[in-house]
Structures are given as C-alpha cells and as structure tokens.
Amino acid sequence: MQAYRWVIDSRDQYSKERLEKLSKDIKLEECQNIGMCTVTCPKGLNPQSAIQELLRMVKELEENKAEDEVL
C-alpha cells in the first residue's frame, strides 16, 4: 500500500524510478489475487486493488521501455 501511495502521488518526481525498482525487487506477480488481504484489512483499505494497479503500471513501463529500445 505504501509503494502504491508514493507511485500515484502527482507531486512525486520519481514515480518512474520507483516503478523500475518495484519491477525488480518486489515480486508483485507472487500475489495470488485471492483478495483475503482486502477482506481482512483492519483499516478498510483495498490492498488487492493497489497491487493490481501497480502490476498494470509496471507492465506499462516495461512496454514503453521496449518501444523506446526499438526506436
């Protein structure tokens, strides 16, 4: 949740660098998407949604990097 919070912050100038680090260091793909983290979250947050959004953003970053390499 904290990683997602930093990445989506419009004031953050290092979102791209954060996403690159997430794509290498943290195994986002290991999430089984069962959703129990959201069901049991004591603060009523939605960690499953945040993980899914981070996965989408990392995938988009990797696609953009691949396109840049081709050009």
Average pLDDT over residues 18-44: 83
Predicted confidence (pLDDT) per residue in 43-54, tens digit = 999 999 998 999
Which amino acid is it at 65? Answer: K
* Residue spans per domain, the chain: 2-6+19-70
Average pLDDT on 58-64 reads 90
What pLDDT, on a 0 to 100 scale, did the predictor assign at position 40?
92
Q: Are 1 and 7 in contact (CB under 8 A)?
A: no
pTM above 0.75, yes or no: yes
Q: Please say if the pLDDT value at position 26 is more than 70.
A: no
Q: Whole-angstrom Cα distance, residue 40 to residue 18?
A: 27
Q: How far apart are CA 64 and CA 41, in angstroms?
A: 34
